Structure 1
């Protein structure tokens, strides 16, 4: 369910990018909007979806298990009050200090008064979105902890629709598109919030009731959030430093890495993040109940399913890197040379795709055990490795070295997370036999896909055949993940027939 909603969101995001490029272009007001929107987005990444939800779900699940549903609801209401007060204060401060803040994040705009003033005004319009989206993240945590995933997964679609509508409205009615989109951000945030409310009510949750400034659950959540916020900051610094290194390379290097990363993030977002999102509430409940044998089994299944999807995805991207880039981007100013350069970066990124995907369930496992410090410490180590390896490799293989450094640091991140969690649980979390089968069959798929490139343009039509071959081979080899997927499809089909 999460994967399907994420896939729809990613496709709609692509449509949004096309429409925004058509209506807003790449001029002065486009620069102003993109820079201004980056500020509330940064707050969302630091305090919203990742850190807040990850810290909230384990605490909420434990209180619900030990003290009952009403105590858990009191904790959620108290968290929302604190969230509103803190983010409301930050919002007022940002709106007051919008000019100096814009000087910090975009000092190059100072020489262009029109651009600078537009950015300041758009910051003031769209920054309250941070309050809305962080509140949505709390609603997502409540719903996920109650085993409801559809509404939270659909939330990004609402923002995409709002931005598309705002861009088209401004363009066709003669308004400034950048300002229209700034108000569209607020409308999208409000729409995301409203979407969650009927589903919260259906689960029995109500915002009306007892709350407390001194709720122990909120205090515990805050303590767990501190490391996760720091971890999110480490990730943002990682991106910043990688971009900084790429700026020393020939013109176009940053763009090659950007487009390659967008392609790599597609399977990662649709499948890798979806699996870990769905796993965290279950792991948190099992940890709260003290059912650690079931916890290990659920984590083992999650890792197995992630590997079952991520490894063949990586093999396919590596084999078809250049033709995929050419199919999607080779038009206009995007030259054949850019295709080759972007394809090389995609190959380097894809090497690390399975390790990035496998790290997410492991992080969810640590968070379910209410340990948010260990993943952050490991992230800091991997940040140093990524920057060091990138600075070294870029000397010989340019931008491909930076992409390869990301893959190497991702491997180290997975290895450290896996070893430490396995030692803590004293349990083997990945079945070696299944891993060997997945790698072997994925290798066959990759080789076949690579040979199919010569059948241009029929290589695209061959992709479903490679997927079918992989699933059939996995079923014949009796991989448990293949059985799991087949059982899920059969169960969904039986449910539809019974509803019909």
Structure 2
């Protein structure tokens, strides 16, 4: 029963995430079509990336990874009343910290923009626009962090639908802001700032009914002396770095990109959004679902179930991540032309975004593996190991950035491609070191059955690439956008069918994906 529930929960999160990602893709097509690449769009992306980065750092990243294991332990050992007290005290502490941070950032917005986008300093219009947008968007961090808090509670009680649906509201608000409200503003892009803040509040509100059903909609109270709160903060502080290294690396790319030619921030953004599609559909979904399960296994000291859960998650990750990375690399040009080349987003913008996507595609598998390896440590309330590895990964990203930017400069290639390639390298450093520690400590290792699995996955991926290579010349670069999208969809279907057929021909069977 528990095994089927885990798979069902994954499907719920994945399907809701798919809806969110599809709407996110529509959102990006609309934004880039309305506002183009560079100029105001660069300003908005920097302003939005700061609270969004902190959201993933504090809320969905470190806080969730620290809070869920402690909450799971309280569920197993204590009464509902004790759980309610933990929820009340934790929400009070979180709201106080985030409210203070929000006020500080709004007051110091110009200095924050200077820190995160130093290249804007000599462009007054872009700098001032980014500053105002940061003040509008930053309250989103408070709302979305409380949303993540509520989601963590619901996920611990196997309620995944509402938390997974919440991001849909962000996409709908931003699409509405760009198409409906932007023309009403003297500076149209300001509409996106309001849309982001409003979406955060809406995402929080839709969690409240289910919290009430679980009898966990309790009033916040500040009490940093509470044992559970102290443990969460103790686990959270190092986890801030360990679980969000990918986002730190991507943010460093934004800092570097702000110093490059106009449009670099937007080109990297378009590539990141495409690479996040498979990451969000499978990597984030599985990482979200397995953390409560791993935490429960750890609380019950069930090492066998713990290992089987990671092994099951790894199968799904490699099954999807390997062909997704290969396909995004092969289809990077046609993807950008089919989806984004419209309105203010030109052919050059599509080509420059494709350069970043090619460099970033290889890291998708690394990003996805991090999503299941890191929770294995956090479920055991071990935050030190991911932190140490995270520090190594960030330094690796900086070193790779210098090396690859230098290589791209010597080869006369767009420099932002070097930044994307550095992120790919850092992701594998991170995932590789996490796996090494899991293996050395006897927590998890790829067993003998993985030799055959890896061979099957690679053969099927190679066959898929061969078919895509043969079909690519038929892509109509000068056709209408709808026809380009249709042909792109057919290419994707052909690649997916080839991958599935060849995978089954090698002896792989769907029953191998059963948990345990």
Matched, 1:217 2:228: yes
Give 2:138's aligned residue.
127
Instruction: Give the paired residue count.
Output: 486
Q: How does 1:125-164 map to 2 (within 5 A)?
A: 125-164=136-175
Compared CA separation, residues 36 and 326, structure 1 to 2 (3 A): closer
CA contact (8 A) 1:245 1:391 kept: no
Is it true that 1:387 corresponds to 2:387 in the alignment?
no
- 3-state SS of the aligned residue for 2:206? helix
Unaligned 5+ segments in structure 1 are: 489-500
1:228-247 counterparts in 2 under 5 A?
Answer: 228-231=239-242, 234-243=245-254
The secondary structure found in structure 2 opposite 1:429 is: coil
**Bigger Cα displacement from structure 2, 217-226 vs 93-102:** 93-102
Answer yes or no: is 1:445 the counterpart of 2:479. Answer: no
Superposed displacement of residue 36, structure 1: 4.4
- Aligned partner of 2:197 in structure 1 is 186
Gap regions ≥5 residues in structure 2: 1-11, 477-486
1:167-206 equivalent positions in 2, closer than 5 A? 167-171=178-182, 177-206=188-217
What secondary structure is seen at the aligned counterpart in 1 of 2:441?
Answer: helix
| Deviation for aligned residue 1:348 | 3.1
- Listed one character per residue, the Cα deviations across residues 72-112 of structure 1 (whole Å, up to 9, x for unaligned) are 23212210011112222223334444565556556777788
C-alpha change, 1:403 and 1:64, in structure 2 (3 Å) is same
Aligned with 1:471 (options 475, 500, 513): 500
Q: How many Å separate the matches in 2 of 1:36 and 1:402? A: 20
Distance 1:119 1:76 in 2: 36
Farther-moved stretch of structure 1 (143-152 vs 158-167): 158-167
Cα 1:126/1:203, change in 2 over 3 Å: same
**Which residue matches 1:325?**
336
The one of 396, 400, 425 equivalent to 2:442 is 425
Could you list the per-position Cα deviations for residues 276-320 of structure 1 after superposition, in whole angstroms to 9, with x for gaps in the alignment? 111111111111111111100111000111111111112222332
1:473 to 1:71, Cα distance in 2 relative to 1, 3 A: farther
State TM-score, norm by structure 1.
0.84
State how far apart, in whole Å, the 1-side matches of 2:79 and 2:444 are: 31
Q: How does 1:233-312 map to 2 (within 5 A)?
A: 234-243=245-254, 256-312=267-323
SS at match of 1:382: helix
Once residues 31 and 350 of structure 1 are traced to their aligned partners in structure 2, the CA distance between those partners, rounded to angstroms, is: 22
Specify whether residues 483 and 471 from structure 1 end up closer, same or farther in structure 2 by C-alpha distance, changes over 3 A only.
farther
Work out the CA distance in 2 between the residues paired with 1:95 and 1:459.
43
- Asked if 1 retains the 8 angstrom alpha-carbon contact of 2:33 and 2:344, the reply is no
C-alpha distance in 2 between matches for 1:340 and 1:26: 12
Cα deviations across residues 29-65 of structure 1 (Å, max 9, x unaligned)? Answer: 7676555444433432332111111111111111211
The CA deviation at 1:469 is 3.4
Give the deviation of 1:250 after TM superposition.
7.0
Kindly tell me: are residues 51 and 179 of structure 1, through their superposed partners in 2, closer, same or farther at Cα, counting changes over 3 Å? same
- Which of 44, 62, 66 is 2:73 aligned to? 62
**How far off its partner does 1:370 sit?**
0.9
Question: Larger RCO: Structure 1 or Structure 2 (Cα < 8 Å, ≥ 6 residues apart)?
Answer: 2
C-alpha contact 1:98 1:123 (8 A) present in aligned 2: yes
Change (3 A) 1:296 1:213: same
Instruction: Tell me the distance in 1 between the aligned counterparts of 2:343 and 2:175.
Output: 23
Question: 1:353 Cα shift?
Answer: 1.9
1:9 alignment partner in structure 2 = 20
Following superposition, the deviation at residue 3 of structure 1 comes to 1.9
2:511 counterpart (483, 488, 494):
483
Of 253-262 and 343-352, more deviation after overlay is shown by: 253-262
How far the C-alpha of 1:11 sits from its partner, in A, is: 2.3
The Cα shift of 1:328 comes to 2.5
String of CA shifts for 1:366-422, please: whole Å, max 9, x gaps: 111111221121122122222223322333334444433333332222221112112
**1:494 matched residue in structure 2:** none
User: For the residues of structure 1 that align with 2:119 and 2:351, how far apart are their CA atoms?
Assistant: 32
Q: Compared with structure 1, are the counterparts of its residues 169 and 228 closer, same or farther at alpha carbon in structure 2 (3 Å cutoff)?
A: same
| Cα distance change, pair 113–360 in 1 and its aligned pair in 2 (3 A) | closer
- Deviation, 1:116, is 6.6
State the alpha-carbon separation in 2 of the partners of residues 402 and 115 from structure 1.
22
Maintained 8 Å contact 2:39/2:262: no
Query: Once the 2 structures are TM-superposed, how far is the Cα of residue 16 of structure 1 from its aligned partner?
Result: 2.9
With over 3 angstroms needed to count, the CA separation of the structure-2 counterparts of 1:473 and 1:28, relative to structure 1, is closer
SS across alignment from 2:207: helix
Q: Is the 8 A contact 2:61 2:244 kept in 1?
A: no
Residue 436 (str. 1) matches residue 464 (str. 2):
no
SS at match of 1:425: coil
- In the alignment, the residues of structure 2 paired with residue 241 and residue 474 of structure 1 have an alpha-carbon distance, to the nearest angstrom, of 38
In the other structure, the counterpart of 1:498 is: none
| Paired residues of 2:182 and 2:189 also in contact (CA < 8 A) | no
Pick closer, same or farther for the CA change 1:437–1:389 going to 2, 3 Å. same
Q: 2:8 corresponds to which residue?
A: none
| 1:410 matched residue in structure 2 | 427
User: For residues 65 and 253 of structure 1, do their structure 2 counterparts lie closer, same or farther at Cα, with a shift above 3 Å needed?
Assistant: same
Query: Is the 2:460–2:498 contact (alpha carbons within 8 Å) kept by the matching residues of 1?
Result: no
Distance 1:34 1:242 in 2: 13
- Whether the 8 Å contact between 1:299 and 1:429 is mirrored in structure 2 is no
